[in-house]
Amino acid sequence: MSAVRTVLALLATGAAVLMTGCSATNDAESAGPTPVASAPAKLWPHRPPATEQPGEPENERPVAVPGLPKVTSGDIRSVDPVAVVQAEMAATPDARTGADALDEDTAAKAAACPAGAAGRAGCPIRSPEYYDLTGDGKADAVFGVDMVDGFLALRCYTLHNGVLIRILATVTKPMSVQVAGGNLVVQEPTPSEGYEQRTVWTWDPQARAMAIQSDDYRRATPPGHGRRESGPEGGDSDTSWKRPR
């Protein structure tokens, strides 16, 4: 019987060690209860699943700007934004919706801008910005046209064999427009207080145009926090047009 008692005592001691874990003195102590694993809970399980995929948003398509001479120098900076916007307006005079559309008042002001007037008072076409968006080591152009109620016609261009190609055209109401790592980042307010929408456009080499990489909502950064920003050179004073320093 003494041998049986010894075995039972050893088993009891081992069980106690397993139950208590390790203590600060290298003794065993409890690790707490183990969470019970559970499978994902399916909501509305009796509803039939969708059999078709939702429609994909239409991707940007490269569009050659009509009515402009070839840029034989290969330098996109030599292209006048006023000439570009006016050429696009002339090619789509009846546009009332979509990326080509400008409100009547803005269209009239843009049509009246003299050559080289981008960024000047009275002309809604902003001073151009130049960044490598396509990753080929050459500058691409970002143009903006201020519309009514704070909207902005945002357009990007690249050169291909001397032909000016529009690779992005969208309408936004930006808090800021930035370029980061070759991506175009647009931040906009949302109806939900304290939140903002952040859309990231990136170069799609297959489509030969800018495509949405991400489009999400996030908490707004309070003024004075985060990365410092400054307005662009060239006379524009609108602080919604921002870029990293």
Over residues 79-91, the mean pLDDT reads: 95
The end-to-end CA distance of the chain, in Å, is 85
- Taking Cα atoms as reference points, which of 183, 175, 151, 166 lies closest to residue 226? 175
Residue with more model confidence, 153 or 61? 153
Distance CA 204, CA 57 (A): 15
Determine the pLDDT at residue 17: 43
Least confident residue range of 26-30, 38-42, 82-86, 131-135:
26-30
Over residues 48-54, the mean pLDDT reads: 55
Cβ(221)–Cβ(227) under 8 Å? no
Q: What is the CA radius of gyration of the chain?
A: 30
pLDDT confidence bin for 33, thresholds 50/70/90: low
Determine the pLDDT at residue 7: 39
Alpha helices for 93-138 (secondary structure H): 104-112
**DSSP-derived secondary structure letter, 130:** E
**DSSP-derived secondary structure letter, 76:** G
Question: What are the boundaries of each domain within the chain?
Answer: 63-115+124-244
- Kindly state the percentage of the chain with pLDDT values over 90: 49
Half-sphere exposure of 216 (CA within 13 A, CB side): 5
Least confident residue range of 96-110, 147-161, 229-243:
229-243
Average per-residue pLDDT for the chain:
78
Cβ(118)–Cβ(53) under 8 Å? no
pTM, two decimal places: 0.69
pLDDT at 234 over 80: no
pLDDT at 237 over 60: no
